[in-house]
Amino acid sequence: MKYFKLLKSSTLSVYGYFFFAFVYAPIFLIVIFSFNSNPVNMMIWEEFTFDWYKTIFGFTSAATESALYLDSTDRLYAAVQNSLTIALTTTFVATIFGTAIALAVARFQFRLKGFYRALMFLPMIMPDIILGIALLIFFVSVGIHLSVVTIIIGHCTFLISYVFIVVSARIADMDETLEEASADLGANGWVTFKRVTLPMISPGVIGGALLAFIISMDDLVITYFIAGVDSQTLPVFIYGMLRRGIKPEINAIATVMLLFSIIIASVGLNMRSRKS
């Protein structure tokens, strides 16, 4: 029995190592090869360089000017600006509606409450391509021109669900007697929400907002269907570059996005798990 437990523990450990290696090795390779100076074949290492990072930030050198794959830094910056505008707007809208719905579902009793809660999970489990096609058909049918606005609407349709779930989990851990005590002391609903409820659920609200922001920034499939010709986002821009081959600048852009996503996600998870 002792040897069986040891064998089982060793097998699980090896499986865990292989699993993490399988998931993170490709990401690690992207980061490594973003510093490779070879402009033709990134899989053949030549020497360490920051040239590709200089390129995406608008600084070219003699070594990279003759092998420049990035069409225009202006297009790259326009895509980044569109992504930030969409992500910030979507986060603001999704956070307000997601938080309000979470509070309503938690505090009020109404018919089909369980069914309504299940509907809030549906946009998360629905395949992105299905949602993207459905939104495209809807916008075309009602005559809405594809633009940044349609992307914001599309992102809100599923990011509200993410905020709802994160805030709902925070509300479930909240002590309702504090709200009751506030009401007993004469505070109205707004004062109770401002002074008691919101401070207690704020880690969940901030965590949900940061999660919505990073998902909006990284979304490709849904955005690809509902983006107009003048509303290209950063993921769509990178996808367009990939269709012409894997270029050295793509690794640098992906590494910067990865670092940005890790920072935002870390802050969001920290706020989500923080206790009052």
Residue that wins the pLDDT comparison between 71 and 184:
184
On whether the CB atoms of residues 251 and 33 are closer than 8 A, the answer is: yes
Q: What is the CA radius of gyration of the chain?
A: 23
On whether the CB atoms of residues 226 and 147 are closer than 8 A, the answer is: no
- Do 211 and 126 lie in one domain? The reply is yes
Q: For residue 206, give the CATH number of its domain.
A: 1.10.3720.10
- Do 12 and 45 lie in one domain? The reply is yes
Q: Which of 45, 65, 85 is the last residue of a domain?
A: 65
- Do 161 and 207 lie in one domain? The reply is yes
- Do 132 and 42 lie in one domain? The reply is no
- Do 185 and 108 lie in one domain? The reply is yes
- Do 122 and 256 lie in one domain? The reply is yes
- Do 44 and 135 lie in one domain? The reply is no
Mean of the pLDDT values across residues 74-85? Answer: 86
DSSP code at position 40: S
On whether the CB atoms of residues 148 and 226 are closer than 8 A, the answer is: no
- Do 250 and 153 lie in one domain? The reply is yes
Give dist(CA 24, CA 35) in Å, integer: 18
Mean of the pLDDT values across residues 225-232? Answer: 86
68-82, 88-102, 201-215: least confident range: 68-82
- Do 102 and 200 lie in one domain? The reply is yes
- Residue 210 vs residues 47, 87, 170, 219: alpha-carbon distances, Å: 37, 10, 15, 14
Closest CA to 168 of 120, 111, 210, 109: 120
- Do 184 and 159 lie in one domain? The reply is yes
Q: Which of 27, 42, 65 is the last residue of a domain?
A: 65
Per-residue tokens: 230: 């003048």
Residues 149-182 as b or e (16 or more Cβ within 10 Å = b): bbbbbbbbbbbbbbbbbbbbebbeebeeeebeeb
Give the pLDDT score at 152.
Answer: 94
Closest CA to 253 of 242, 263, 267: 242
3-state secondary structure (DSSP) of residue 48? strand
Residue 108 pLDDT > 90, yes or no?
Answer: no
- Residue 26 vs residues 22, 29, 235, 255: alpha-carbon distances, Å: 8, 5, 18, 12
Per-residue tokens: 22: 């399988």
- Do 142 and 161 lie in one domain? The reply is yes
Query: Which domain does 122 fall in, by range?
Result: 73-273
On whether the CB atoms of residues 88 and 75 are closer than 8 A, the answer is: no
Number of domains in the chain: 2
- Do 60 and 107 lie in one domain? The reply is no
Ramachandran assignment for 144, one of left (phi > 0), alpha (psi -120 to 50 degrees), beta (any other): beta
Q: Which of 34, 65, 96 is the last residue of a domain?
A: 65
Give dist(CA 88, CA 152) in Å, integer: 9
Confidence grade of residue 16 (pLDDT, cut at 50, 70, 90): confident
Per-residue tokens: 266: 């870390």
Residue 140: count of CB within 10 angstroms of its CB: 12
Give dist(CA 87, CA 213) in Å, integer: 5
Single pTM value for the model = 0.80
Mean of the pLDDT values across residues 228-253? Answer: 81
Give the pLDDT score at 66.
Answer: 47
Per-residue tokens: 41: 């074949």
On whether the CB atoms of residues 226 and 151 are closer than 8 A, the answer is: yes
